[in-house]
Amino acid sequence: MILQDWWYTTLLGMSAPIEPPLRGETTADVAIAGGGAAGLAAALRLMDSGKKVVLVERNICGGSSTGRSAGFLTPDSELELSQLMRRYGVEGAKDLWAVPVKGIDIMLAATSKYGIQCDLIKQDSLFLGKGRGGWKDVVDEAESRKKLGFDYRLYDSEQVGEILGSGGYSGAVRYQNTYGIDGLRYAQALKRILMDHGVKIYESSEVVSIGGHSLRTHMGNVTADQIIFCADKIKPSLSDYAWNAYHAQTFLSVSEPLSDGEVRAMFPDERFQCWDTDLVYTYFRLTGANRLLVGGGSAWSTYAKNDTTSPHVIEHVLSGFRKQFPLLKNLEFIQYWPGRIDMTRDLLPTIVRVPGAPWIHFVLGCVGLPWATFCGDFVAERVLEGNAESPDARKYYRYFAIDRGFLLPLWAERIFGKRAVFMINTAWAKYYQVDKNRNTPYNTDDW
């Protein structure tokens, strides 16, 4: 395997040149920092509003987390429905499940309306149990879906073996209306559409400072009435909000194309996108060209401070995968790549309207393309609303407030270190946390 992002490989031969960086001074009604799923969704919402929009991106649009992801368009990211129900109750789980569902709808609408070619594939999802504990997890998920009236089908171990070429799973939950996508091609295509509709986009333009109404890059400056900051992996020099986000590292690999026989061996009847119940889980799906994407990580590398590029992590993941699918033991994987996924202490995104500077909006820690898409669209809609905040908007500001409840506060980082604080908080939020103040209104006094 070579160290290379497959999604970048898929851009070869496409007429999508890199946009030149921002030079000099410019003005806008709305300036957006970040050209990933969130920033592009914000620009899409504002595109035909009559406002002048300028977007700056430090890489190419989609070149960070969006273009390194596996492209799973599912409501699940790191949190299953059963975990949301434990933490927020039935109504809260419905509210939060609606977030990525709307994000998926936004992405589907854009691909359909503008004919975006991004390897969009409709694939039902399978949440696969491993061992006795995994069976309990999938049963809990099925019961949660039943309580909320969501579609699902529960499979025992024998039934899983009939729909998946593996006898190593103790059960599964299946549900519909989920998709796979090439996130980088989606981002680059959306970039062209936005530019055709008057949005100014500058790539290779990293924001180095925020001051007043201005975003300053290394060669230019954009001054705007409103600023939407959607860039991930922000530095403390840009904002103290950087302390509220960390990262999880994962690895992805892509195979040579599977033969028709190999596809049938793996998916006898129809194709699924899958992930299992392990704490550091393995996930996989087929692309439209019948290449297999397999991703995962390890306990020691997931929260590592610095990027890990060694192939040993993904080789271990692939070794475990081959044990589950012995019929694919000779399948060659040709490329692998790491990615750091921004996250918060409880794996839900954070949306901030800066106290004392309500024209500055931050979107932080979005795990998954649908969540990021919703958040970018949500903030852009708030910009269009002005000071008129709907009850629905206040509800999501509450869920995604930066000061929502966490087990360990940020000051604990000085004692235990940031890595340990995020590991403990995310584990607590995923498996134990119950929010007691579910109906506490969001404080907008400083707006």
**Local mean pLDDT, 10-residue blocks, the chain (447 residues):** 93 84 97 97 96 97 93 90 94 95 98 96 96 95 96 96 94 96 96 97 96 95 97 90 92 96 94 92 95 92 85 94 92 94 93 94 95 97 84 91 93 91 93 74 49
**CA-CA distances (angstroms) from residue 263 to 159, 167, 272, 286, 289?**
18, 16, 11, 9, 11
pTM of the model: 0.95
pLDDT at 442: 47
pLDDT at site 340: 87
Tell me which amino acid residue 23 is. R
What is the DSSP code (8-state) at residue 316? Answer: H
The pair phi, psi for residue 210, each rounded to 5°, is: -125, 125
Mapped onto helix, strand or coil, the DSSP state of residue 95 is helix
List, as one string, the DSSP characters of 118-185.
Answer: S--EE-EEEEEE-HHHHHHHHHHHHHHHHHHT---EEEEHHHHHHHSS-S--SEEEEESS-EE--HHH
pLDDT of residue 371: 97
3-state secondary structure of 106: helix
Domain ranges (residues) in the chain: 2-68+184-243+346-413, 124-177, 246-343
Going from the C-alpha of 169 to that of each of 24, 129, 157, 177, the distances in angstroms are: 58, 6, 6, 23
CATH topology of domain 2-68+184-243+346-413: FAD/NAD(P)-binding domain (3.50.50)
Residues pairing with 121 in the sheet:
180
Element (H, E) at 420: helix 418-431
Is there a contact between 224 and 333 (Cβ–Cβ < 8 Å)?
no
For domain 246-343, give the fold.
D-Amino Acid Oxidase; Chain A, domain 2 (3.30.9)
Helices (H), 312-417: 312-324, 369-385, 391-399, 413-416
- pLDDT at position 388, please? 64
Residue 401 CB burial class (10 angstroms; 0-12, 13-18, ≥19)? middle
